[in-house]
Amino acid sequence: MIRFYLYAIVFNLGILIFVHELGHYLAARASGVTVERFSMGFGPRILKFTRGATEYALSAIPFGGYVKMAGTEQRPEGDTAELGPGAFLSKRIGIRAIIVAAGPVTNLVWAVLVATGLLLFTGIQTLGEPVVGEVEGGSPAAVAGLLPRDHIMSVGGTDVGSWEDVVRLAALDEDGSVELVVSRGADPGVLVDVTLAVAGDEETGELDLGLTAYVPPVVGDVLSGGPADRAGMRAGDVIVTIDDVEIASWSELGGIIYESLGEELTIVWERDAEVMSAVVVPEEGDEPVGMTEVRTVGMIGIMRPWEVRRLGPGEAVVTAVRFTAANLRMIVEFFVGLATGQVAGSMVGGPIKVIQLASESARWGATYFFGFMAFMSLNLFLINMLPLPILDGGHLLLMVLEKVRRRGLTERQLMVWQQTGLVFFAGLMIFLLVRDALSFS
């Protein structure tokens, strides 16, 4: 099993590296630049073959890859020898910029393609019926008199069939309040009119209704090898009690497990009318608290259940683009917060953390595995576009300077620029590796 997860990690990160380098390679070939070597990995070449003018290689150090193009070396001052037509530096700045940007842009496109594939094969997760779960004390929902298990029938006079409909229609309100009709009590229940004040969160500006959707205490996905899996739990199991406390919702279930790190819990569940039980000990897990810190909580390796809606090809593409844009915006906000001190440095993980997350995504199953791949591909796009030495964004910055100054950097200036980048990233990598190692010790 461990070997399987190692293969999964290599596959995930290897695909992302290959896609990135493939972007550079295809753009170079399309621009008439001679590609001398396409290598997966760095250092000594383990396997290699040559086709045409290009050597294709698998190298010993697997963390990265490169495309070696003809004529990329900065020539000494005074060297007037004419570059060949296949040389990188013989091309116009615009063409060179396209070749450099093609790597990260291909990572962006790959993220959209993976997301599209996931949506086509697995559908989109939804919150299900518009039934109220928890009502936050003092919130607009509490003031309006909404109660847990209220079934929202209409918002602003429009019938609703899902929780997403409730949020969407409430967000359209421009008067500061919206009229709801809810069904309360046992089916068919009593219809109650409710006026709900609509307000945005003071920090994020996002809609804050002060209530959550009801989620039944049903197991969705199970982490392979986790405490719940070892206890025999399976997707679809209904949690009945924990230490003789009846469980009526997912939030009650999560609340007890979160606060029981390292403690023995007797969990009773039902499967196909059969009652089962086991003693489960929650293991340590991380739960982000906003963007400033991570809280250590108890986890047993189960996910909440989701309703799934199938999408056609066109809707899948549009939804994938929308999801990718939202994730891109979230990552940018994270980096901005990191630079301004609004995000704690402890929220940043190094290579060991990335490997651990890749392994965990494989343990959750194919959907999470490929979802993680898409998310990491977005990170590679953004990181590589940063205007820092040795990154693609750094090369693009030098091209902008060359365009403005009408000449490139001297050989010495370029060497200082590259060495500065190498020292910076080597130091950053060592720092992250040490911190990752300490956090896992």
Do 89 and 173 reside in the same domain of the chain?
no
Flag whether 79 is in a domain: yes
Q: Please tell me the predicted confidence (pLDDT) of residue 257.
A: 95
**In this structure, are 201 and 263 located in the same domain?**
no
CA distance 243 to 234: 20
pLDDT of 76:
58
pLDDT at 89: 86
Instruction: Establish if 339 belongs to a structural domain.
Output: no
Please tell me the distance from the alpha carbon of residue 101 to that of residue 72, in angstroms, as a whole number. 15
Contact 114, 39 (CB under 8 A): no
Angle, alpha carbons 308-310-314 (nearest 5°): 140
Distance CA 205, CA 196 (A): 18
The CA angle 368-370-374, to the nearest 5 degrees, is: 110
Domain carrying residue 269: 227-304
Do 25 and 75 sit in the same domain of this protein?
Answer: yes
Residue 396 and residue 409: Cα distance in Å, rounded? 13
The pLDDT, as a whole number, for residue 350 is 75
Task: Answer yes or no: do 78 and 14 share one domain.
Answer: yes
**Catalytic (active-site) positions:** 21
Burial 348-383 (b: 16+ CB within 10 A, else e): eebebbbbebbbbbbbbbeebbbbbbbbbbbbbbbb
- Which residues lie below 8 Å from residue 396, measured CB to CB, with a gap of 6+? 97, 100, 101, 385, 387
Question: Could you tell me if 92 and 178 lie in one domain?
Answer: no
Tally the C-alpha atoms within 13 A of residue 291's C-alpha that lie toward its C-beta: 16
**315 lies in a domain?**
no
Euclidean distance between CA atoms 395 and 415, whole angstroms: 13
R_g over Cα of the chain: 27
Would 367 be classed as within a structural domain?
no
Kindly state whether residue 110 falls inside one of the protein's structural domains. Answer: yes
Boundary-marking domain end, from 265, 283, 304 = 304
Query: 257, 284, 304 — which closes off a domain?
Result: 304
Find the CATH number of the domain harbouring 234. Answer: 2.30.42.10
Question: Per the domain annotation, does 346 fall within a domain?
Answer: no
Same domain as 98, residue 17:
yes
Q: Which two tokens stand for residue 414?
A: 């370029």
pLDDT the model gives residue 381: 95
Whether residues 77 and 148 share a domain: the answer is: no
Considering its fold, how many domains does the chain have in total?
3
Per-residue pLDDT of the chain (441 residues; tens, 9 = 90+): 567 667 778 888 889 999 999 999 999 999 999 999 999 988 899 999 999 989 999 998 877 899 999 988 766 555 545 677 889 988 999 999 999 999 999 999 999 999 999 999 999 988 888 999 888 888 888 888 899 899 999 988 889 988 888 888 887 766 778 888 999 987 777 888 988 887 665 555 566 778 888 999 999 999 999 999 999 999 999 999 999 999 999 989 999 999 999 999 999 999 998 999 999 999 998 887 766 677 889 999 999 998 888 999 999 999 999 999 999 998 888 888 877 877 766 677 777 778 888 888 888 888 999 999 999 999 999 999 998 888 899 989 988 988 888 877 777 777 888 888 888 888 888 887 887 777 665
Q: Among 272, 304, 336, where does a domain finish? A: 304
Say if residue 262 is in the same domain as residue 279. Answer: yes
One domain, residues 142 and 209: yes
Residue 344 placed within a domain: no
- The verdict on 267 and 178 lying in the same domain is no
Residue 57 belongs to some domain of the structure: no
**Cα Dmax for the chain:** 89
Residue 80's pLDDT is 46
Residue 333's SS3 state is helix
Inter-residue contact 132 to 170 (CB < 8 Å): no
Q: Position 29: which residue type? A: R
Whether 86 and 158 map to the same domain: the answer is: no
Statement: the pTM of the whole predicted model exceeds 0.95: no
118 and 140: one domain? Answer: no
